[in-house]
Chain A
Amino acid sequence: MKKIVVLAKQVPDTANVTGDAMKADGTVNRAALPAIFNPDDLYALEMALTIRDKIGGEVVVITMGPPKAAEILKHSLYMGADRVMLITDRKFAAADTLATSYVLAETIKKIGSVDLVLAGRQAIDGDTAQVGPQVADKIGLNQITYVSVLREFNDEYLIVERDGEVQTEVIKSGYPVLLTVTGQANTPRYPNCRRMLQYFRADVKENFDTSEISAAEAKGWIIPAYSLEDLGLDEDRCGLKGSPTKVHKIKNIMLKGGDLKMYGTKPTNIKQLVRDITKVYVEVN
């Protein structure tokens, strides 16, 4: 029986910036990007569910974000999470990794006696890969980052492969431990139909009519939300206030229009392309 916490984040789908999301000036229209479950976090959730399904226990998915982030918690319920927690408060806004990890670590401490914390390797909006390790530091957990294979696990320990960039490391650790998981680790399961029927109305309390609330509670549809005050956090360590890094300036990336030479697809055009490639290669050398 293990108590497993999964750290998840809702992110803008920055990996699929299609034509619609590009403005005429070549910059990205951020508002046009859909919000998705951070891809790496799905591998972390799948790993948590795999472990629970075999040795028993509870999977708790935590996310910090605006009320809309409850969408990924609903998806977690569909996949099989036992419990979800939305950590939401305007005072958490503009948190950097230090402030975010403080809030998440304190939440995990409140849950108490957690054996395993799983996080995605990194989020696709910030790409820092820092929150997982910083949570481990604050709770005083052992950590293994870049976990690419879950080889073996039982009540006593787990054995994983770590992608050490130049080498693959086979590592054994007891509990408690925090792992950050890469996309090589598994294939996240599809939402379970029965659970979708069960939780399709799951949402934060404020989105239910007052008359519906007691019925929704009975059905487990209310996604519990926790504020700074609920968690008894130090406001000075949260959000912008608790973030040592500040954004000084933001610049949209614009594609520079180049001296583009286009070729047709007829064999003679391709022949010319091959010739020109060779010529250009000689020129730049």
Chain B
Amino acid sequence: MKSIVFIEKNPVTGRLRNVSIELTYKAYTLSKPLKGEVTGVFAGDALPEDTDRLFQYGLDRLLYFTDERLKHLHSIAYKHILEAMIQSEEPDIVLFGATHTGRDIAPLIASSLKTGLTADCTQLYVKNYKDKGNILFQVRPAFGGNILATIITPDNRPMMASVREGVMLLPEEHPNHPHKMELFPVDFNESWVKSEFLSVVPKVKKADFNSAQIIVSGGAGVGSAGNFRLIRELASALGGEVGASRAAVDFGFVDKDHQIGQTGSVVRPKLYIACGISGQIQHRAGMEESQKIIAINKDPEAPIFKIAHMGVVGDLNEIIPVMLRYLKEEG
């Protein structure tokens, strides 16, 4: 069971995207029991500064190609280069991070290789299947997250899957492999460059969920952008980060960077306080692994109460000011 992992660099920091490390380790756990190799494929203007970290999580080899013209996401160029790398390896499994880059390139490659690509997997495992031998089982939420589907690609190779950042966890103890880097020669074709990148502006990341122990999130029930101030104040009083459901973002209460859920960030804080969030499956997909969930909602039937540990049925616009007052009193 030979695996390939698409290695992605964060263009702003010049370092590896976390998901590339997460998937390297995942590929290691899938391939190693079956004596398979894990190979990384990288294309870009320069290698990520911290490339060696990959070898600390089970990467056997890295195939890479660097060229100044790959500074920007020229999808067609990336497709041709990565596809050539993948084909040269004849892998069983290919994993991509479900980032805006991975989701741009992976479908092009799957289309070109005429194979299956399963998006946003939350679990991956290898098992024997009928007369097909060992294949990859890909579990993903579908139908807006209301069902969990197990998808297989029984007759085609490679079996391709994408996974979002933060879904696969890294272990405390991990394998350490010697560095083995191989330059993959590519005859760069100028016709692959079809777009012109006029400028690039790094985004100011307004929410930092990675290090947040407490997240206070607001949803449609907050009612207005003005009321969302209460969510910010409660987060700040508790020393936490501000989150939001998709509805709150769509209504313009708060910036999209704060969105938690299937189409936002996946978070696992110690405390998650959901205010005016009904708890649609799309939102739960991003937060239900939180250690303790506190729900404030007007609707006693809201699904959020089914996963919450503490709950209040009431108007958050009345409840949060009282909470803030006590938090101040308690100092």
Contact = CB atoms under 8 A, between A and B. Distances in A.
Interface in A85-124: 96-98, 101, 124
Contacts of A274: 323, 326-327, 330
A126 B107 CA distance: 14
B48 to A, nearest CB: 13
A98 B311 contact: no
Given A97-B107, A130-B117, A255 B75 contact: no
A209 interface: no
Interface stretch (B24-32, B174-182, B225-233, B302-310): B302-310
Interface in A129-176: 129-134, 136-138, 142-146, 159, 163-174
A252 B314 CA distance: 30
Contacts of A136: 75, 108
B10 interface: yes
Nearest to A180: B104
Nearest to A28: B146
B203 A260 contact: no
A232 interface: no
Interface stretch (B36-44, B56-64, B86-94, B150-158): B150-158
A96 B271 CA distance: 38
B292 to A, nearest CB: 5
Contacts of B155: 244
B322 interface: yes
Interface string A57-88: 00000000000000000000000000000000
A280 interface: yes
A137 B111 contact: yes
Given A258-B309, A280-B292, A166 B202 contact: yes
Contacts of A258: 293, 306-309
A262 B313 contact: yes
A247 interface: yes
Interface bin, chain B: 35 or more
A188 interface: no
A127 B119 CA distance: 8
Contacts of A163: 100
Interface string A245-256: 111111111011
Across chains A and B, which 8 residue pairs bring their CB atoms closest together, nearest first? A14-B144, A244-B116, A255-B306, A245-B116, A142-B194, A133-B107, A137-B111, A134-B111
24 contacts: A16-B280, A30-B143, A125-B143, A130-B106, A130-B119, A138-B111, A142-B195, A145-B75, A165-B101, A165-B203, A166-B11, A169-B73, A170-B199, A170-B201, A244-B156, A248-B151, A251-B149, A255-B303, A255-B306, A260-B311, A261-B311, A264-B312, A270-B323, A284-B270
Interface of B: 10-13, 72-73, 75-76, 79, 99-101, 103-108, 110-112, 114-120, 137, 141-156, 194-203, 205, 213-214, 238, 246, 250, 256, 262-263, 270-271, 273, 280-282, 291-294, 301, 303, 305-314, 318-319, 322-323, 326-327, 330
Given A98-B117, A127-B144, A260-B310, 4 more contacts: A137-B79, A171-B195, A245-B117, A280-B271
